[in-house]
Amino acid sequence: MESDRRKLGEVGRLSFTNIIYVALGAAVGGIARYLTSFFITPPAGSFPWATFIVNVAGSFIIGLILFLYSERSPNESMRLLLGVGFCGGLTTFSTFSAETVQLLQLQREAVAFIYIGASLICSLAATYAGFLVARHI
């Protein structure tokens, strides 16, 4: 028996309206990411705080959305707008990867490995925390 609930990364029904939801969410998420990077700019070779912050915040938000719009009240429009669009525009694994490689090239191995560990642990914990918070809303 197939569940009506969708996972956050699933596309669902292809429609112009759904594409607009994703595009609007991605635009707002991208702007939030840009502003975070604009206001938090550490010197080269130091911990990449802006990317870390948006990835952990995005993980928390996606945990909320996972529960609210997939578990409690399946709402494809909100899931696409916030989960796929906003969180997709806000967070970025490619920037995380590039910053990690840059730290390694600068021979800042300790900072690179702290960044990797902290990003994975905090992002996973934030997703779970978002899920738990949404469960109690």
The verdict on pTM exceeding 0.85 is no
Distances (CA, A) of 111 to 57, 82, 96: 21, 32, 13
**Token representation of residue 45:** 């070779």
Distance CA 82, CA 88 (A): 8
At CA 112, angle to CA 111 and CA 113, rounded to 5?
Answer: 95
Is the pLDDT score of 5 beyond 70? Answer: no
- SS3 string, 55-93, reads HHHHHHHHHHHHHHHHHHCCCHHHHHHHHHHHHHHHCCH
- Block residue for tokens 């996606």: 62
Res 73: pLDDT: 76
Is the pLDDT score of 3 beyond 50? Answer: no
Res 1: pLDDT: 35
Mean pLDDT estimate for the chain: 88
Res 27: pLDDT: 98
Res 98: pLDDT: 85
Is the pLDDT score of 51 beyond 60? Answer: yes
